[in-house]
Amino acid sequence: MKKLIPLISLAGVAVSQAAVFSSGELDFGVIIEGGELELEGHVVSGVVDGVQTDDVEFEVGDLEVLAGADRMITVQSGLPAAGVNTGDSLWILPQSQIVGVPYVALASEELTASDWSTFITFTLGSVTSPSGSGTFSMWSNDGLGNPTFYFSSTNAGATDDNNQFESAFSHDHVNWGFTEEGDWSVEITASGTHNTLGDLSATETISFTVVPEPSTALLAGISALGLIARRKRK
């Protein structure tokens, strides 16, 4: 869950401790550390708190992914899995890279395939939406533009495998959909069976903020306060 520090303010605005990822490539991926499965946020190349950042890992809880107002579309035809009807608004972080937009993937490629007897499964857990009734969804489009939904916080039955996404030791860029502005918390569990370590799992909550982009000054202020928590790669 995103942490707020009310004692620290900039121009009277409550400042989030989480580092804001506003554009570039970000992988939420699993690694093995100390015999345990861990889910981390790896900024491959992007902007964190207004600063160009390359090849840096973050604790998932210390990241906040920004979906700006320019990511909103008006839906032309309803899709139950995304929780939208014709004419509804939907914010989408796309599965294709667009300059200035977060390009977010789920990844298991840093694991060694031969060490595992199963693929890695990402499972959607609890989702908190701004209003309490919004829908979070995740899907990919094939080459013809046909969507396959993997996650839907309000309609698991409309997904490919009941809110489970299988990753074959690769990384997969997908579309992330949100039906309303505000702060979202999305719980994801990664799991698999390791040949020697047995069944492993890791659960983290990813924070998304669907708002117009913060001002540059605010982002610079967060950076100056040194509130970015980075994870040291061991």
Partner 1 sequence: MKVFPTCYIFGAFCLPLSAVDLVLGHFEYQIDYRQNDAAPDEGWQSSVSYDLDGSFADTEGIVRLDEAGVRLLAAPSTQLVTANPPAGFGEANEPFWILSQNNIPGELFLGWRAVYEQGLFQARVNGNYSPSPLGSISATLLEVGGTGAQRGGKFAMWTSSGFGSLEFHFNTSDGLDDDDRLETIPAGGHSHYNWGFTKPGTYEVTFRNEGRLNPQFGGGDTASEAMLNFVIPHDGVLRGEGAWRLGNGDRGSAAVAVFDDENQVDYASDQVVLIAEGGEFTMVVADAAEDSLGQVGLGSVEEMTFPGDGPVTIELIGQSGPGSVSMSAGNGGTNFEFGADGIYRVQLQASQGGVSGTPFVLTFLSNLEEDYSYAEWADSFERTHQLSGGALADAQADHDGDCLSNGLEYLLFWHGFDPAISDGNLMPKPRFVGGQAEIEFLRDLHKDDFASTPLELSAAFSADLETPWKPWRRLFSEGAADGFYEDGAELGNETSPIMRRRLVVPSASANLGFFRFEQRSRN
Residues engaged in binding partner 1 (CB under 8 A)? 24-25, 27, 29, 42, 44-45, 52, 54-55, 73, 75-76, 79, 90, 92, 94-99, 103, 107, 109-110, 112-114, 140-147, 168-173, 175
Phi-psi region of 115 (alpha: psi -120 to 50; beta: other; left: phi over 0): alpha
- How far apart CA 81 and CA 189 sit, in angstroms, is 20
Task: Give the shortest CB-216-to-partner 1 separation in angstroms.
Answer: 14
Strand partners, 37: 32
Q: How far is CA 175 from the centre of its chain?
A: 10
Task: Give the shortest CB-9-to-partner 1 separation in angstroms.
Answer: 30
**Smaller CB distance to partner 1: residue 77 or 131?**
77
Listed in order, strand segments (DSSP E) in 51-129 are 51-59, 63-67, 72-74, 89-93, 102-107, 120-128
Task: Give the shortest CB-4-to-partner 1 separation in angstroms.
Answer: 30
- How far apart CA 97 and CA 8 sit, in angstroms, is 34
Task: Give the shortest CB-3-to-partner 1 separation in angstroms.
Answer: 26
- How far apart CA 40 and CA 73 sit, in angstroms, is 29
**Smaller CB distance to partner 1: residue 36 or 115?**
115
Please give the full DSSP string across 67-88, using - where no structure is assigned: E-GGGEEE-SS-BGGGTB-TT-
**Smaller CB distance to partner 1: residue 109 or 187?**
109
The DSSP 8-state label assigned to residue 217 in this structure reads: H
Task: Give the shortest CB-97-to-partner 1 separation in angstroms.
Answer: 4
**Smaller CB distance to partner 1: residue 114 or 126?**
114
**Smaller CB distance to partner 1: residue 16 or 153?**
153
Task: Give the shortest CB-141-to-partner 1 separation in angstroms.
Answer: 4
**Smaller CB distance to partner 1: residue 16 or 29?**
29
Q: Could you give the 3-state DSSP secondary structure of residue 143? A: coil
